[in-house]
Amino acid sequence: MNQRSFGESPVVIIEEGSVGLVETKYFTFAYPPDLFQMENGLTLGPITVAYETYGRLSESADNVILVEHALTASAHAAGKHAPEDKVPGWWDVMIGPGKAFDTEKYFVVCSNILGSCYGTTGPSSINLATGRPYGLDFPLITIRDMVSVQKALIDSLGVKRIKAVAGGSMGGMQAMEWALSYPGIVDSVVLVASGAVSNPQSIAIHKVGIRAIMDDPDWNSGDYYGGNPPAKGLAIARMIGHITYLSHNWLWEKFGRNHPDPVSMKLRLDSNFDIEDYLEYQGASFVKRFDANSYIYIMRAIDIYDAAEGYGSLAESFMRMRCRKALVASFTSDWLFPTYQSHEIVDALHENNIECHYREIDSPYGHDSFLLEYMILTESIKGFLSSF
Is 282 part of a structural domain of the chain? no
Is 222 part of a structural domain of the chain? no
**How many angstroms separate the CA atoms of 205 and 336, rounded?**
10
Residue from 145, 334, 357, 380 carrying the catalytic annotation: 334
Q: Tell me which residue range forms the domain holding 57.
A: 2-197+307-385
Is 232 part of a structural domain of the chain? no
Is 97 part of a structural domain of the chain? yes
Is 169 a known active-site residue? yes
Q: Answer yes or no: is pLDDT of 265 > 70.
A: yes
Is 81 a known active-site residue? no
Is 365 part of a structural domain of the chain? yes
Please tell me the predicted confidence (pLDDT) of residue 174: 98
**How many domains, the chain?**
1
Residue from 206, 242, 357, 367 carrying the catalytic annotation: 367
Please list the residues that pair with 111 across neighbouring strands: 51
- The string of pLDDT tens digits covering residues 300-321 is 999 999 999 999 999 999 999 9
Is 158 part of a structural domain of the chain? yes
List of residues 6+ apart from 150 with CB closer than 8 A: 49, 66, 111, 113, 174, 178
Is 225 part of a structural domain of the chain? no
Q: Parallel, antiparallel, or unpaired for β 107-111 and 36-37? A: unpaired
Q: Answer yes or no: is pLDDT of 78 > 60.
A: yes
- The string of pLDDT tens digits covering residues 221-262 is 999 999 999 999 999 999 999 999 999 999 999 999 999 888
**How many angstroms separate the CA atoms of 69 and 298, rounded?**
12
**How many angstroms separate the CA atoms of 246 and 369, rounded?**
9
Please tell me the predicted confidence (pLDDT) of residue 239: 98
Distances (CA, A) of 283 to 77, 236, 238, 243, 287: 22, 6, 5, 11, 7
Q: What is the pTM of this model?
A: 0.94
Residue from 148, 169, 198, 369 carrying the catalytic annotation: 169
Q: Answer yes or no: is pLDDT of 7 > 90.
A: no
Is 315 part of a structural domain of the chain? yes
Q: What is the CATH number of the domain that holds 134?
A: 3.40.50.1820
Please tell me the predicted confidence (pLDDT) of residue 271: 87
Please tell me the predicted confidence (pLDDT) of residue 15: 59
Please tell me the predicted confidence (pLDDT) of residue 8: 43
